[in-house]
Amino acid sequence: MRARKDSRQQVGRWGEEVALRTLEQKGLQLVGRNVRTPYGEIDLILQDVDEMVFVEVKARTTGSFGLPETAVDGRKQGRIVRSALYWLQNHPEWTGGWRVDVVAVCGRPELAAAAEVAWFPNAVQAGMDEDMG
C-alpha cells in the first residue's frame, strides 16, 4: 500500500513540474508551490500579468480512471476557491484580479517528453458548484 501511495505522489510531483514548465513557457511567473491553507493545498500560484492564478494540477498515467480534469468536482472546486480567497486575504498587497485554472497532465514520468498537457484557464469560478467536463 505504501508503494502505491509513493507512486501516486511521484506522479503528482511530476504532473506539477510539467504543468509549471508549461505555464512558465506561456509567460506566467511562479509565486508559490504547494501552499497550505486551512482549506487545503494550492498546487501552484503564478502571476499572469495583472492576475494571480491559482492552479489545480491533476495528473494521470493512464486514461483508465477518466480524464484528469474530471477529478475536479464541485467539492474540490469549492476547496480551491476557499483556499484562493484565504491566500488573497493574507496578501493584501495584491490588488489585481485572480482566477483558478486547472492543468491536466497525462503520461508517465519516465516518458516526460510524451506528456499530454491540457490547460483550462479560468476553469473554476467563485460560487460554481457543477463539475467540469
- Kindly state the percentage of the chain with pLDDT values over 90: 56
Residue 128 has pLDDT above 90, yes or no: no
State which fold the 2-124 domain adopts: Trna Endonuclease; Chain: A, domain 1 (3.40.1350)
pTM: 0.82
Residue 52 has pLDDT above 90, yes or no: yes
Listed in sequence order, the residues at least 6 apart from 57 whose beta carbon sits closer than 8 Å to its beta carbon are 12, 15, 16, 19, 43, 44, 102, 103, 104, 105
Where are the chain's structural domains? Answer: 2-124
